[in-house]
Amino acid sequence: MSKLAKPSREEAEAAVKTLLAWAGDDTEREGLVDTPRRVVNAYEQYFKGYDEDPIEILGRRFDDVGGYDDIVLLRDINFHSHCEHHMAPFIGKAHVAYIPNKAVVGISKIARVVDIYARRLQIQEKMTMQIADAIEEALQPRGVAVFVQAEHQCMSMRGVMKPNVDTITTQFRGEYNTPEMKAAFMSMIRS
């Protein structure tokens, strides 16, 4: 992803102040005076995924795995993201598995890849594919499976206002793209 020119911190804070005024509040009242600074600080955390490279994170592999060549699964990786359409949060869990092809990666790196993509403006479908793409590119495994389940606040807090609706997206690649392996993966994440 190429780097875009970013507005200054002062410009970002001024934009937040404009939105607060547009909402109808007094930006000079005590409770809102520091809100633009706090919102920009929060955005730095929410969207820090733009500053990280998932391929680099997955770059350190371990070849000495004693012949291990079966499933590596991380289940229940909690994440929060923001939809690119309304900038509203979506919160959920990702389950990620791969079948190594001679090498493995430290398990925390898989969770970090989920966070890198979650901490960008997203749609869940694209995020699910990006996680699978990064693992495929960096590890060249025999198979990858990604299952993402999330509740979107843009649907529960606005629009149709339907809370507690989960959206599920999946990607099955390589040896995982068979009915038997899909069933095995689904069984493992549900157990």
Q: What is the set of active-site residues?
A: 83-86, 124, 152, 154
The rounded Cα 31 to chain-centroid distance in angstroms is: 32
Specify whether the CB–CB gap between 78 and 93 falls below 8 A.
Answer: yes
Neighbouring C-alpha atoms within 13 Å toward the C-beta of 143: 19
Q: How is residue 119 written in tokens?
A: 């901490």
The answer for residues whose C-beta is within 8 angstroms of residue 76's C-beta and 6 or more apart is: 93, 95
Specify whether the CB–CB gap between 118 and 77 falls below 8 A.
Answer: no
